[in-house]
Amino acid sequence: MMRLLVINHNFHYEMEKLVRIFLPDVKIQVIRDEKTDDFELLTEIGDEIIVTAKLDNFSKTLKAPLCQDNEMQMGRMVYALFSEYTNFYPKWGVLTGVRPSKLLINTEKKLGREKTEEYFYNDLLVTKEKYRLARVVADYEERIISASKENSFSLYVSIPFCPSRCSYCSFVSHSIENEKAKNLLPQYVEYLVKELEITGKIAKDLGLNLESVYMGGGTPTTLSAEQLDRVIGTITGNFDLKNCREFTVEAGRPDTITEEKLRVIKNNPVDRISINPQTFNNSVLGVVGRRHTAEDTIKIFELARKLGLDNINTDLIAGLPSDTVEGFRHSIDTALSLNPENITVHTLAVKRASGIGADNPQIATENANRASKMLDYTYEKLNGVYHPYYMYRQSKSAGALENVGWSKETYECAYNIFMMEECHTILSCGGGAVTRLKAPKGDEIERIFNFKYPFEYISGFQELINRKNRISEFYTTYPY
């Protein structure tokens, strides 16, 4: 437990986020405006800015004069003290936001390119390497976003079921190893079909233009071939796909993918799939509870190619429990040997009580350094063959490192960018799905939440449909 003393300011939330860059899973108790020596971190605004850290045998105070941006200054002081304490210097500096490239684009609109670069280096303490990454991503994002029109939208379809649960999973997904969850699946598909029909009608009545479709989860290929065909058929039968530039099915876990399901995908207008190894090390797969082997992934990948699927993404994760830098290099090399169109490399986000020790400074720093070396290798091997085209950061990821989508030229996944940069409406269907309405001519965003769990989704279906009335109201308020 870390006691964070906050005196005379409102920046505690940002200071907590900064501490978690160094100690992703630490519990923080905020103590407000109390004069006490019982703290690990003191942050105070008075005649000057004062930050004191008392951590194990490390004790140090920094002071700085008040300035135009006291919050940012205080953040840099917290960063300096924790860097010295842990001997770890995060490459994204004090930047805690989840969308660095969006920040870069927005800052450039106000300050221009040169001043933005200075801001990233001098104010945010971002390294040149990460700034350049954000720069390349921003350029690709802008190119894809510029093709989106005012009445554009994307469709997200959620299948929150998986064959078993991976130990690191932070999604709401039900393992069909559980009989109750398995028995819900047929009913879930019935309701999902109804929701898709209703949503399709709303989109048509509003004259919205469908740009991309993404079926994710969970693991959509947990559905049987017939169920998969029914859901995809409902999408193609109820939405106008003539301007749709991309239709992804995140097949996901190789242990759910069969030739029959791949044929269903191929026989429908799906043009992008994801087959996710996460790692090509069998011992790591065993540790994280994935019931497939590296060989299964390779076999399914080759089968998909044989059936003519020519736009495939593979997901890898840096920093999985028990993985090594050497092991991760093997995963990157194997993924490259398969020659997919996209490779998405995530950095593991630490779950509380995961046993990974992310509240221990030494272990957290080791995890961060290991993940950083894994990403260094990724950049070394992928750069030139692929380019980074979308990126986001999750809270509690090792070293506050990023997740990056790499693509061959012209194969960038448009949905990933639309969703991440919130540039147009995402209509979402299914359990746990969130519709994000984006004003066509402004920045207003409104969210409509579906019920999270399949059981609630089914029992609360009418309420959920009532909530969808808000879509038309929103477009009446914010017409295109």
Which residues from 146-165 bind ligand SF4, rule CB under 6 A? 162, 165
What minimum distance in Å lies between the beta carbon of 349 and ligand SF4?
11
What's the closest the beta carbon of residue 229 comes to ligand SF4, in angstroms?
A: 21
Taking Cα atoms as reference points, which of 94, 95, 68 lies closest to residue 81? 94
- Selected from 166, 235, 401, 439, the binder of ligand SF4 by CB under 6 A is 166
Token readout for 226 is: 């017939």
Kindly give the interhelix angle for 361-382 and 12-22, rounded to the nearest 10 degrees: 80
Q: Which is nearer to ligand SF4, 13 or 171 (CB)?
A: 171
Part of the chain binding ligand SF4 (CB under 6 A), chosen from 193-201, 213-221, 365-373, 408-416 = 213-221
- 133: how many CB neighbours lie within 10 A of its CB? 22
- Residue 39 beta carbon to ligand SF4: minimum distance, rounded to whole angstroms: 37
| Given 101, 116, 173, 334, the residue binding ligand SF4 (CB under 6 A) | 173
- Asked whether the beta carbons of 320 and 279 are under 8 A apart, the reply is yes
CA dihedral 49, 55, 60, 64 (to 10 degrees): -20
If one asks whether residue 347 binds ligand SF4 (CB under 6 A), the answer comes out as: no
Shortest distance (Å) from residue 279 CB to ligand SF4: 12
In the complex, what is the shortest distance from the CB of residue 371 to ligand SF4, in angstroms, rounded to a whole number? 17
Interaction between residue 216 and ligand SF4 (CB under 6 A): no
Give the torsion sign (CA, 207, 213, 217, 220): positive
- Which CB, 75 or 252, lies closer to ligand SF4? 252
Contact call for residues 289 and 166 (beta carbons, < 8 A): yes
Q: Which ranges of 406-452 does DSSP label H, i.e. alpha helix? A: 414-421
Spatial contact of 12 and 43, defined as CB atoms under 8 Å apart: yes
Q: Are 302 and 272 in contact (CB under 8 A)?
A: no
Q: How far apart are CA 271 and CA 247, in angstroms?
A: 5
Is residue 219 a contact residue for ligand SF4 (CB under 6 A)? yes
- Name the strand (E) or helix (H) holding 52: strand 48-55
**DSSP one-letter code for 359:** T
Q: Which of the ranges 103-111, 126-134, 168-176, 461-469 carries the binding residues for ligand SF4, by CB under 6 A?
A: 168-176
- Determine the Cα–Cα distance for residues 138 and 121; give it in Å rounded to an integer: 17
Return the number of the residue (283 or 362) whose C-beta is nearest ligand SF4: 283
| 171 part of the interface to ligand SF4, by CB under 6 A | yes
Is it true that the peptide bond before 405 is cis, omega within 30 degrees of 0?
Answer: no
Segment contacting ligand SF4 (CB under 6 A): 97-105, 169-177, 203-211, 224-232? 169-177
Task: Using CB under 6 A, pick the residue from 31, 169, 202, 338 that binds ligand SF4.
Answer: 169
* 13 part of the interface to ligand SF4, by CB under 6 A: no
Name which position in 75, 93, 200, 218 contacts ligand SF4 (CB under 6 A): 218
Looking at the DSSP bridge assignments, the partners of residue 87 are: none
Q: Which of 252, 254, 277, 430 lies at the binding interface for ligand SF4 (CB under 6 A)?
A: 252
Closest approach of Cβ 168 to ligand SF4, in Å? 7
Minimum distance, C-beta of residue 93 to ligand SF4, in the bound complex (Å): 30
Whether residue 254 contacts residue 275, with contact meaning beta carbons closer than 8 Å, is answered with yes
Kindly identify the residues of this chain, within the stretch 112-151, that bind ligand SF4 according to CB under 6 A. none
Report strand pairing: 445-449 vs 434-438.
Answer: antiparallel
Residue number, 54 or 396, with CB nearest to ligand SF4:
396
CA distance 11 to 8: 9
Comparing CB distances to ligand SF4, the nearer of 75 and 319 is 319
**The one-letter amino acid at 97:** G
In the complex, which residues of this chain contact ligand SF4 (CB under 6 A)? 162, 165-166, 169, 171, 173, 217-219, 252-253
